[in-house]
Amino acid sequence: MTTTIRIQAGDFDAAAEARKLTDGRRDIGAVVTFAGLCRDEGGSLAALELEHYPQMAEEEIARVAARARARWPLAGVTVIHRHGKVAPGAQIVLVVTASAHRTAAFEAAEFLMDYLKTRAPFWKKEHRADGSEGGWVEARDADDRAAERWAD
Amino acid sequence: MKAVYFASVRERIGKSEEVVSPPPGVITAGDLVAWLAGLGETYAHAFDNPKIIRVAIDRHHVKHDALIAGAREIAFFPPMTGG
C-alpha cells in the first residue's frame, strides 16, 4: 500500500502519478484519477491564490488518507494539492486511488475529495480579471453536506 | 503559546502569528476566541462571527469546547475552501 501526499507550488502530471501507483503491479484492477481545476467564473477571474497551513496540511491529508485506507481495500493513494497562485484552466488538486475493483477506487476518491474540501487547511482568494481583489472564497454548505454523507 | 492566523483572520488582524498569554480564566478554544476578540479593533473584526471560526490545536482540528491547556500552537481560521 503506497500513500503519497505532496503540497507543492508547481503543477503535476496526473497520468504520470497514476502510472507510479500501478507500475510493476498485477493486482490492481482499477485506478481513479480526479483532478480539480481553476475555473475562470465566466471570464471574471484572473487567478486563485491558495493559502495553506504548512505541516498541518500534509498531516491532515494524511489523516484523511488513513481513514480512506481503513474503509476501502486500496492498493495506493496519491494526493497532491497546490498552493500559491493558480490561473484559470490550471490544475489545483489531484487524487489518485488504486484498488483491485472499481467501486473501492471510485468511492475512496470521492471520499478523499469531500474530506479535503472541508478539512484540509487551504483557503482560496480570488483575483479578478478587472484587477480588483475579489476576496476570499466562501465555504459552501454543499461541501459540508457532501462530507457528512460519509459519516460512519 | 503561539497563536497563528490564516486567510481572512490573518488579514484582519494584520499578522500571521504571535505569542499570546491569556489569563487563567481562558480554558477552552472558544474562550480563547472570545478573549482574542477583545484585544482590539482588528481582533474584534477578525472574530466578529466567532461561531464560524475554526480552531486547530497543535495542527489538529478541535471544537470550541476543547481545552487549551498544554497547547503549543493554536491556529484560527475561517472554514476551509481547498480542493
**Residue from the list A36, A125, A139 with its beta carbon closest to the beta carbon of B80:** A139
In a domain, B11, yes or no: yes
DSSP annotation of B28 reads B
In a domain, B20, yes or no: yes
Q: Do A20 and A96 touch, CB atoms closer than 8 A?
A: no
| pLDDT of amino acid A34 | 98
pLDDT, tens digit, for every residue of B41-64? 999 999 999 999 999 999 999 999
Share of chain B above pLDDT 90, in %: 100
Which residues in chain A have their CB less than 8 angstroms from residue B77's CB? 53, 121, 123
Q: Which amino acid belongs to residue A69? A: R
Whether residue B83 and residue A113 make contact (CB cut-off 8 A), yes or no, is yes
| pLDDT of amino acid A133 | 82
Residue A37's CATH number: 3.90.1170.40
In a domain, B9, yes or no: yes
Contacts of A101 (CB under 8 A, 6+ apart): A29, A30
Strand partners, A67: none
Which residues in chain B have their CB less than 8 angstroms from residue A55's CB? 59
Number of domains in chain A: 1
Number of domains in chain B: 1
Q: Phi and psi (nearest 5°) for B4? A: -125, 145
Predicted TM-score (pTM) of the model is 0.95
| ipTM (interface predicted TM) | 0.96
- Parts of chain A with a pLDDT under 70: 152
| pLDDT of amino acid B26 | 98
Share of chain A above pLDDT 70, in %: 99
Residues in chain A: 152
In a domain, B82, yes or no: no
Whether residue A51 and residue B7 make contact (CB cut-off 8 A), yes or no, is yes
Domain assignment of residue B48, given as a range: 2-77
Cell 497562485: give the residue: A85
Q: Does A67 touch chain B (CB under 8 A)?
A: no
- The beta strand positions in chain A, using DSSP E, are 2-8, 30-37, 45-52, 74-82, 84-86, 91-99, 122-128, 133-136
Residue A120 CA to residue A55 CA, distance in Å, equals 11
Which residues in chain B have their CB less than 8 angstroms from residue A116's CB? 82-83
Q: Do A21 and A31 touch, CB atoms closer than 8 A?
A: yes
In a domain, B83, yes or no: no
In a domain, B69, yes or no: yes
Which residues of B fall below an 8 Å CB-CB distance to A?
4, 6-8, 10, 56, 59-61, 75, 77-83
Residue B28's CATH number: 3.10.20.30
Residues 68 through 127 of chain A touching chain B, CB cutoff 8 Å: 81, 92-93, 113, 116-125
Domain assignment of residue A71, given as a range: 2-148
Chain B nearest C-alpha distance from A92 (Å) = 7
In a domain, B22, yes or no: yes
